[in-house]
Chain A
Amino acid sequence: MILQVLAQIPTDGVTAPLVEESTSRLVTPRIPWSYLTPQLILFLGAVIGVALVALLPKRLPKYLSALATVVLAAGTLVSIVPLWGRVGNAREGAISAWSGAIGVDRFGLFVTALICLAVLVTALFADSYLRREGLDGPEFYLLLMTAAFGASIMAISNDLIVLFVGVEILSISSYVLTAMHARRVTSQEAGLKYLVLGGFASAVLLYGLALIYGATGSTNLLQIQVFLSERVLTSDGLLLGGLGLMMAGFGFKVGAAPFHMWTPDVYQGAPTPVSGFMASAVKTAAFAGMIRVFVVGFGSAAELWRPIVFVMAVLSLLVGSIVSVVQSNVKRMLAYSSIAHAGFILLGVHSATERGTSAALFYLASYTAMALGSFGIVALAARRGEHLQKLSDLRGFATAHPGLALAFALLLFAQSGVPLTGGFIAKLGVIGAAVDQGDWALAVVAMITAVISTFMYLRIIVSMFFVGGGDHGEEPAGFEGPPVNVSWTSMVGLGIVVVATLFLGILPGTVKHWSNQAVVEMVRDSGR
């Protein structure tokens, strides 16, 4: 039956025929390089970086790699600004290139900008972290660049194969980054765990992709969209199987329950700046891919996949908030809270509207800032060897380091959704998008779990600020262990995320406006 439907695929439209009759020369796609500047900067930065590391003498100044990464990430951000105008105006508009394999639109640019910000702040935190742990070297930063390159490919992919290549570039870089702390067994273990489970998830994603190709006759999202809107499938088993498997693959990559099992272990074991990078950039890219594929590509089949997202969102919210409360390790707490945040963002995906997409993007923007900052502070507070990451190790942190504790408290309050912070506006956005579609149940679950996870954030804050003698009248314990050294680069990174969190909360208008404009536009490849 599917074969009969396939036979009706129009051969005119979407792509040009592969071989022209008159000559033997193949019709090759033209590539608008200028639209790919952000990706090119990241890619060439990584490749040239690898070559330079090989050719230059080993004794280079230690700050050079971090500096180069910050400069390249900032350069990528700057290169997005003119593109934002170009793909937004009516005359030029969004483009599709490489035979429709990639689509440059404001959605992709917004996500790429978030990823670059994550790279920039991660590099700032990583500089002093890596030196403290005796791991300094250019490899960390090179992997950060390749991960960002893969992530930005995911953000602009218009084809499931290109999306998968992006996922793999990002994933393989993050596996290595996770295992980067060569002297901690937990880091090695987390890297191996992430590699095995991540490879499995990639295989599931690929299998779903193959089934979707079988069901719709194309891997191109635009062609899939056209195919699904033009006909009614008499048998949709193959499509359902493909959608389910792809959703499982994406669910793993974003760390949503019930595919979240790896998240706490990997976030705990990974070098802490890498945990922050995974919570921000990797999550952002995976959600970007999810939105491109499901909300846009399978937009007309939304009723097929929305129930899956519903279950994933409810489970993520419940698991993330409830299990985080009973954790004793701060990194694990933040990992579970990132599962809960994934649940909130799934609210925006579930609504399957432009409002939901823009709310999800705003949420990702504010969570990027909050996650990077929180993990950055934990990296500092855990001190050399990352031995002190228990909740009890933070006791008295506020008296020893009032500034850091205040910033941490602010970021945690923002994550719980206190007004005047980015987290509040973000939560308001996704819950509003859900209510807009009449999903009251989902909105109620989200609000209840927000209250539950607030308890967990308060546990961390209480342990930092209130040095009590305990319940049984013990001696109040002060801040123990070696002093926390805060380098000026970490201060700059922390400053960026704190200012961003407050800015998103007090004056959300600008970013809200950008996220509203950042819609996915799928256009045909005009060969421009």
Chain B
Amino acid sequence: MGQYLPILALGILATLFALISLIASRLLNPGRPNDAKNAPYECGIVDQVAPPERFPVRFYLVAMIFIVFDIEIIFLYPFTAVYRELGSFGLVSVIEFAVAVFASFLYVVANGALDWGPLKQVRRSGMMVTPSRTSTSTIRRVGQEGREVHVGDEGVAA
């Protein structure tokens, strides 16, 4: 275990340094706070407007398609290096994998992940139309504020 002693010593030193710095700054600073000093440090000019919070959910879909193919490449590339050695076992395994991946790709495309036209309402339901966003649409329904927010759909009590 002796070989780990330097790591232990380094860990203790790092902890001590952090603690001493904190305590020293607490003891030594003059203690005249103002708003600018208390604000978290930020580079550049202070924002005048809140940054845009929403962006189309479609970007997630494209990212997901990317991940689907990314994973496929991760498996296919090493397979091509040793496919002769692996024989039929490797071939069958990779085909199984590719079929499963391709089926999911088919599903994603068939559900409009690559349609970049105007928004399509996949399913409309009469129940529980709230002015807030839903998970099927990012369109905010205007003119319905304060109307027909369903009661009883209380949050999960802790």
Instruction: Give how many A-B residue pairs fall within 8 Å (CB-CB).
Output: 74
Contact B85 A24 (CB under 8 A): yes
Closest to A49 in B: B103
Contacts of A265 in B (CB 8 A): 156, 158
Contact B106 A50 (CB under 8 A): yes
Contacts of B155 in A (CB 8 A): 185-186, 189
The answer, yes or no, to whether B90 is at the interface (CB within 8 Å) is: yes
The answer, yes or no, to whether B86 is at the interface (CB within 8 Å) is: yes
Contacts of A53 in B (CB 8 A): 107, 110
Contact A29 B89 (CB under 8 A): yes
The answer, yes or no, to whether A183 is at the interface (CB within 8 Å) is: yes
| Residues of A in contact, count (CB < 8 Å) | 33
Contacts of B110 in A (CB 8 A): 53-55
The answer, yes or no, to whether B87 is at the interface (CB within 8 Å) is: yes
Within 8 A of A (CB), among B111-145: 111, 123, 125, 127-128, 134-136
Whether A50 contacts B107 in the complex (CB less than 8 A), given A28-B87, A29-B89, A385-B128, comes out as yes
The answer, yes or no, to whether B150 is at the interface (CB within 8 Å) is: yes
Contact A188 B135 (CB under 8 A): yes
Contacts of A48 in B (CB 8 A): 103
- Output the least CB separation between B141 and chain A (Å): 14
The answer, yes or no, to whether B99 is at the interface (CB within 8 Å) is: yes
Contact B134 A189 (CB under 8 A): no
Q: How far is the CA of A189 from the CA of B157 in the complex (A)?
A: 11
Contacts of A387 in B (CB 8 A): 150, 152-153
Contacts of A189 in B (CB 8 A): 155-156
Interface string of A1-43 (1 = CB under 8 A from B): 0000000000000000000000011101111000000000000
Contact A134 B103 (CB under 8 A): no
Contact A26 B103 (CB under 8 A): no
The answer, yes or no, to whether B82 is at the interface (CB within 8 Å) is: yes
Contact B150 A385 (CB under 8 A): yes
The answer, yes or no, to whether B109 is at the interface (CB within 8 Å) is: yes
Closest to B82 in A: A26
- Output the least CB separation between B9 and chain A (Å): 22
Contacts of B90 in A (CB 8 A): 28
Contacts of B89 in A (CB 8 A): 28-31
B residues lining the A interface (CB < 8 Å):
82, 84-87, 89-90, 99-100, 103-104, 106-107, 109-111, 123, 125, 127-128, 134-136, 150, 152-158
A residues lining the B interface (CB < 8 Å):
24-26, 28-31, 47-48, 50-51, 53-55, 134, 137, 182-186, 188-190, 193, 265, 268-269, 329, 384-385, 387-388
Enumerate 21 A-B pairs (CB-CB under 8 Å) in ascending A order: A47-B99, A47-B100, A48-B103, A50-B104, A50-B107, A53-B110, A54-B111, A55-B110, A137-B123, A182-B135, A183-B134, A184-B153, A185-B155, A186-B153, A186-B154, A189-B155, A329-B157, A385-B152, A387-B150, A387-B153, A388-B152
Closest 4 CB pairs of A and B: A28-B89, A54-B110, A387-B152, A54-B106
